[in-house]
Amino acid sequence: MNLLLDEIARATARLADAGAASPRADAEELAAAVHRVNRSELHSVPDNAFDALFWEYVARREAGEPLQHITGRAFFRYLELKVGPGVFVPRPETEVMAGWVLETLRDMDVRDPLVVDLGTGSGAIALSVALEAPRARVHAVEKDPTAFVHATRNVEELDERGRVRLHLDDFATALTELNGTVDLVVSNPPYIPMSEWEYVPRDVRDHDPADALWGGGDDGLDAIRRVESAARRLLRPGGHVAVEHSDLQGNGVYWIFAEENGWRDVRNRRDLTNRDRFVTARYGTD
């Protein structure tokens, strides 16, 4: 049997004992990163090419360090993003919201839609829009300087058409020059209430940046309230917004986008596990 596959089996057992949620996938991804191959190519690594760095990576994962911090990469839709300490690691759940954004842009009767991503983090959503809706112009806002460095690197490497403009700013007050002109606003803001601290997985609460996790307020929804206010300022009449939340916050976020503030067609939408994951709405009466 292939030596690397044997070692992956041993690593899987160790990671399972350490409580990793997906020990086999983690072991394979660590091996692929060390040996610079895709996971589907692991069987092709010859025995004499086995790199013992793999076991250093496994030990770091056993200790609770996020997989993506160890490998330095995260996958989101069709992108391979550079990530690391200081930037929120994009999750698969957010891919569903990005998919809704892209479908909505395709349905718009707008030649070059203008999109704003509030709290872009690694740039995952903004870059997905730029890649998959190539006529879209995207402004991505991030206030954390460390996360902004990661976003800048990803944009420089992946935005071949130059469709994404990054802004180091607070999304509550950013881009006033675009007020009333934006076709779609999207955000995956912080939304976890501090009361949930003990229930958040250790590798998340100890390694993801605090400003990307804790939403503020007793309900964790203060950041989403700021997104609602910013979207109302930025959007043109008929423009759309999408904002992510936890699977327990759908009702609370629904009511933040109140009809008296101009919101129409407010809907809770579900992720691939059939749980409430993001709210969408249209601004204005047209």
Domain boundaries, the chain: 3-63, 77-81+85-283
The pLDDT, as a whole number, for residue 131 is 95
For the stretch 99-153, pLDDT in tens is 999 999 999 988 899 999 999 999 999 999 999 998 999 999 999 999 999 999 9
What is the pLDDT averaged over residues 259-272?
91
The span from the CA of 256 to the CA of 261, in Å, is 9
For the stretch 83-102, pLDDT in tens is 999 898 998 889 999 999 99
The pLDDT, as a whole number, for residue 197 is 58
Pairing type for strands 263-270 and 276-283 reads: antiparallel
The pLDDT, as a whole number, for residue 237 is 95
CATH class of 77-81+85-283: alpha beta
The Cα angle at residue 277 between residues 181 and 86, in degrees rounded to 5: 80
Hunting for tokens 């004499």 — which residue is that? 48
For the stretch 9-50, pLDDT in tens is 999 999 999 988 899 999 999 999 999 998 889 989 888 888
The Cα diameter of the chain in Å comes to 68
The span from the CA of 177 to the CA of 118, in Å, is 15
pTM of the model: 0.90
**Would you state the torsion angle of the CA atoms of residues 220, 224, 225, 229, taken in this order, to the nearest 10 degrees?**
170
CB 54 within 8 A of CB 7: yes
Pairing type for strands 164-168 and 73-76 reads: unpaired
For the stretch 178-236, pLDDT in tens is 999 999 999 999 876 666 656 556 767 667 776 776 566 777 899 999 999 999 999 99
List active site positions. 88, 188-189
CB 257 within 8 A of CB 241: yes
